[in-house]
């Protein structure tokens, strides 16, 4: 083998090594600015896509906030209902997390950009920020119920807007997934705030007077 050939082989193997080396610290301009639509061929006007991307990003930020509030309460719950609420809050957290993914992916397929990072979510959500400290279980439940109601209210309005604009997919996501899931979770939470005796029935309480007693 001539030295010339040898050099050629070395150069080849070095080139091979270069290709296997990860290219780190890369930077470039964004490929799509937030708020702009990269239209896909889904037979919907760009204006309709833009309107529902904006609506869905609001629902996304509120759903992410509710999801995270469930984890906070899952960790911090206290009292004799600790075990059942600890498990229930985690179950609802998982279901809200599935909604987050479905909403975010619908935003992307409408050609938009879904919010993702906590700081952006915090700037966008309309759900009040809970304190960092621990709260009593009835306060946690009330806070969650209020967040659910906020989401249900906006989801119903947005679902109607989607139907009117011919965006059936967004309507279906809001009605079949967001609204149905939130309504069901409200039921499971609200029943914990019905003041009934745990062991001995209270014969003295009359219907209609229970709240005042
Ligand atoms: Fe856990």
Q: What is the pLDDT of residue 47?
A: 97
Name the residue among 27, 8, 10, 7 with its Cα closest to residue 18. 10
What distance in angstroms lies between residue 75's CA and the mean position of ligand 1's atoms? 7
d(CA 88, CA 82) in angstroms, rounded, equals: 10
Residue 133 or 12, more confident: 133
Assign 72 to helix, strand or coil.
Answer: helix
Residue 58 CA to ligand 1 center (angstroms) comes to 27
pLDDT score, position 162: 97
Whole-angstrom Cα distance, residue 152 to residue 89? Answer: 18
State the average pLDDT over residues 154-170. 98
Instruction: Report the candidate in 66, 40, 206 with the shortest Cα–Cα distance to residue 129.
Output: 66
| 114 alpha carbon – ligand 1 mean position (Å) | 27
**Mean pLDDT to the nearest integer, 137-153:** 98
- Residue 181 phi, psi (nearest 5): -65, -45
What is the distance in A from the centroid of ligand 1 to the CA of 84? 12
129 CB contacts (<8 Å, ≥6 apart)?
A: 122
Residue 18 has pLDDT above 90, yes or no: no
For 85-131, write each residue's pLDDT tens digit: 999 999 999 999 999 999 999 999 999 999 999 999 999 999 999 99
- Confidence (pLDDT) at 7: 57
What does the pLDDT read at residue 19?
A: 84
Residue 213 pLDDT greater than 50, yes or no: no
CA dihedral sign, ordered 140, 145, 95, 59: negative
pTM of the predicted structure, to 2 decimals: 0.89
Question: What is the DSSP-derived secondary structure letter of residue 117?
Answer: S
- How many other CB atoms are there within 10 angstroms of residue 36's CB atom? 13
Nearest to 35 by CA among 112, 116, 118, 124: 112
Q: Which residue's entry shows tokens 């609204």?
A: 179
């Amino acid at each position: 083998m001539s030295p010339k050939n040898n050099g050629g082989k070395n150069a080849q193997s070095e080139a091979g090594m270069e290709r296997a080396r990860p290219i780190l610290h890369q930077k470039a301009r964004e490929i799509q600015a937030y708020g702009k639509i990269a239209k896909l061929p889904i037979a919907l006007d760009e204006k309709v896509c833009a309107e529902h991307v904006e609506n869905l990003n609001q629902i996304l930020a509120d759903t992410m906030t509710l999801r995270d509030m469930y984890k906070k309460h899952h960790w911090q719950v206290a009292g004799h209902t600790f075990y059942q609420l600890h498990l229930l809050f985690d179950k609802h957290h998982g279901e809200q997390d599935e909604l987050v993914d479905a909403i975010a992916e619908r935003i992307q397929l409408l050609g938009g950009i879904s919010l993702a990072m906590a700081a952006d979510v915090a700037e966008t959500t309309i759900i009040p920020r809970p304190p960092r400290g621990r709260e009593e279980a009835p306060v946690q439940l009330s806070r969650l119920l209020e967040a659910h109601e906020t989401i249900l209210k906006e989801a119903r309005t947005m679902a109607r807007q989607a139907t009117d604009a011919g965006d059936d997919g967004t309507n279906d996501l809001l009605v079949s997934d967001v609204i149905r899931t939130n309504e069901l979770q409200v039921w499971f939470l609200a029943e914990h705030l019905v003041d009934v005796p745990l062991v001995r029935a209270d014969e003295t309480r009359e219907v209609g007077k229970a709240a005042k007693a």
